[in-house]
Amino acid sequence: MTTTAESTSTTVDQRAAGVAPNLARRAGFFRDVASIAARSLRQARREPETLFPPIFVPVFFFMILVGSLEDTFGHTGLNDFRAFQLPVSVVLAVTGLTRAPSVVTDITTGYFERLLLSPVNRMALLLGMMVADAAIVVALCVPVLVMGAIVGVEFVTGFVGILAFVVFATAWSIAYVGILYAVALRSANPTVTSQTFLLYFPFVFLSTTMVPREAMKGWLSTVAGFNPLTYVYAALRSLITEGWSGPDLLKGVVAIVIVGACTHTLAYAALRGRVSRSRP
């Protein structure tokens, strides 16, 4: 993580002869991350169609679930089914929202190798894209929260709670996308990478997406107890309806950290393999 400028290799003879010097120097880790993130965001701006599903799906599910099940779920003890479902909408919007597939394109077109020829910090190649993902997730939380406000969902934790809600959603999203980057970097295969979305289903539907844990019975309740997303939901919901609930928030943080540690370890291992100078 070198942040200081490094002298270039222009020879003394070249300088004496008035030849334009080699201008290359290390830009520094944070500038590298910012450069890669900015590029990723530019790409996202040019591909607005990729943002349509993450906006449409949560709004669609919210409308359908609230419209059809709000009355039915009254017996589960839920006072506010809309508040219960808003975190689901956010999770549906941000889980798997990533620019990871563009890594595959970069690898297959040779542009990734062009980046490796430069003095860019290798870690910045991955972190820069994740920073861009985080920025997109934050932006996508806005329409979902606006939708919640329109249908009357209020945060008992106030504006700070809304910010904490966005931070939680973003942290979950970044923890989850590590696995997608791992697959993209490891396989460099668009088909394999796109199949990774299947992971989304067990995470989302074997958790408290539809009903609270107390209303679950048998194996589903047991599985949901091991699903980290259950605790992320609990943290998000507590910010809306319960206030600053330390245990719920702490469990949510732990769940995100565990998922993130696993997926990011895989992602960084895949990055190391991809930039390895031993590979053909």
Partner 1 sequence: MNQRLSVSSDPGGPGPDAFAIHAVDLRRRFGERWAVDGVNLAVPSSQIYGFLGPNGAGKSTTVRMLCGLLIPTGGRATVLGHDVARDPGGVHLAIGAALQATAIDDRQTGLEHLRLQGRLYGLRRAETERRIAELQDLIELGEAIQRPAATYSGGMKRRLDLALALIHNPDVLFLDEPTTGLDPVSRFKLWDEVRRINRERGTTVFLTTQYLEEADELAERVGIIADGRLVAEGTPDELKRRIGADVVIARVSGDPERARQVLDGIPEVERVDVDATEVTATVGDGPTAITPVAVALAAAEISVETLTLRQPTLDDVFLAVTGHRLATGTAAQPDAGASELATTGRTSQ
Q: Which residues bind partner 1 (CB under 8 A)?
A: 5-6, 8-11, 14, 17, 19-28, 31-32, 35, 38-39, 42-43, 46-47, 102, 105-106, 109-111, 113-120, 277-278, 280
Nearer to partner 1, 60 or 111 (CB): 111
Q: Give yes or no for a contact between 237 and 96, defined as CB atoms under 8 angstroms apart.
A: no
Nearer to partner 1, 40 or 230 (CB): 40
Q: Give yes or no for a contact between 251 and 92, defined as CB atoms under 8 angstroms apart.
A: no
The least distance separating partner 1 from the CB of residue 271, rounded to whole angstroms, comes to 15
Helices (H), the chain: 12-16, 29-46, 52-69, 81-94, 100-109, 111-117, 122-150, 158-187, 190-195, 200-205, 218-226, 228-237, 246-275
Nearer to partner 1, 9 or 191 (CB): 9
The least distance separating partner 1 from the CB of residue 280, rounded to whole angstroms, comes to 5
Q: Which amino acid is at 189?
A: N
Nearer to partner 1, 22 or 76 (CB): 22
CB-based burial of residue 186 (10 Å sphere; 0-12 exposed, 13-18 middle, 19+ buried)? middle
The least distance separating partner 1 from the CB of residue 173, rounded to whole angstroms, comes to 22
Q: Which amino acid is at 84?
A: F
Nearer to partner 1, 23 or 198 (CB): 23
Nearer to partner 1, 90 or 97 (CB): 97
96 phi and psi angles, rounded to 5 deg: 85, 5
The least distance separating partner 1 from the CB of residue 158, rounded to whole angstroms, comes to 40
Q: Which amino acid is at 169?
A: A
Nearer to partner 1, 21 or 247 (CB): 21
Task: Write out 100-124 in H/E/C secondary structure.
Answer: HHHHHHHHHHCHHHHHHHCCCCHHH
Tokens, residue 130: 């994740």
The least distance separating partner 1 from the CB of residue 258, rounded to whole angstroms, comes to 34
The least distance separating partner 1 from the CB of residue 29, rounded to whole angstroms, comes to 12
Residue 187's nearest CA partner among 117, 96, 101 is 101
The least distance separating partner 1 from the CB of residue 269, rounded to whole angstroms, comes to 18
